Each structure stands twice: as structure tokens, then as C-alpha cells.
């Protein structure tokens, strides 16, 4: 768009893996549409929607509960490092996941070191 505001269309992905990247948790996709036409034939395993396509504490909690159930089936316990975003502040009680928050103001530094 020339000379105007940039569009605010977005899609958010939540991805998580172990340190080596060999094991990946079920991804979460967040968009604005309740039933996007582009996924008519194959819908992502976990898709959530809200008007701004942002992560919310409810969406994050639902994703965590799903991962906790997966880990229970596999009889595994995991440690999950997350940033201290507002959407991550409230989540359900978990039996197979221990959550540890990254120190404040480190997310952008970690993202920069990964890209660089």
C-alpha cells in the first residue's frame, strides 16, 4: 500500500521444540477468521481465532492443557521456558509440564541472537 497505513492482517504461530530441534510440540496457529477458507481441505491440528489474531491467556492455557495431555499419554514430564508476556501470566495447573519464565527483557535479545 503506497502512502497509507500498513495492513493489520496477521497470523500467529506458537512453535516449541527441544534444544536439538528433533522433538517438536504440537504447533498452534492463531488467526482472525473462525473458519478460514484456505484451510477448507486440511485444517491445522490446533487453530484458534480472535478478532486481532493475538495470543490470549485463554488460548495459551488451552494449548498448554493439550500439551500436558500429550505428555501424560507418553508418560513424560517436560520443562518449558516461556517469555513473560501478559498472555502467559495465567495458565491452568499442569501435571507433566513445569513452566519457567525467562528473565525480563531477554526475548528480543534471544530472537536477535538466533537470527544473527
Among the listed residues 32, 29, 26, 27, the one whose alpha carbon sits nearest the alpha carbon of residue 12: 29
At a CB cut-off of 8 Å and minimum separation 6, what does 44 contact?
Answer: 27, 29
Contact 58, 78 (CB under 8 A): no
**What tens-digit pLDDT sequence spans the chain (116 residues)?**
566 666 667 788 888 888 888 988 888 888 888 877 776 667 667 888 888 888 888 999 999 999 999 999 999 999 988 888 777 878 889 999 999 888 887 766 666 555 55
Nearest to 79 by CA among 98, 96, 61, 107: 98
Residue 11's nearest CA partner among 38, 41, 1 is 38
**Has this prediction a pTM greater than 0.85?**
no
Spatial distance between the Cα atoms of 75 and 62, rounded to a whole number of angstroms: 20
Instruction: Find out whether 22 and 40 touch, Cβ atoms under 8 Å.
Output: no
Q: Reading across the β-sheet that carries 47-49, which strands appear in turn?
A: 12-14, 28-31, 47-49
Amino acid at each position: 500500500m503506497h502512502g497509507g497505513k500498513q495492513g493489520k492482517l496477521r497470523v500467529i504461530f506458537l512453535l516449541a521444540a527441544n534444544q536439538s530441534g528433533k522433538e517438536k510440540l504440537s504447533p498452534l496457529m492463531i488467526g482472525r477468521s473462525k473458519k478460514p477458507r484456505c484451510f477448507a481441505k486440511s485444517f491445522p491440528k490446533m487453530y484458534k481465532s480472535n478478532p486481532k489474531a493475538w495470543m490470549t491467556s485463554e488460548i495459551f492455557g488451552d494449548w498448554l492443557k493439550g500439551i500436558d495431555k500429550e505428555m501424560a499419554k507418553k508418560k513424560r514430564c517436560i520443562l518449558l521456558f516461556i517469555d513473560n508476556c501478559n498472555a502467559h501470566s495465567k495458565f491452568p495447573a499442569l501435571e507433566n509440564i513445569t513452566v519457567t519464565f525467562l528473565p525480563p527483557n531477554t526475548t528480543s535479545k534471544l530472537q536477535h541472537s538466533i537470527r544473527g
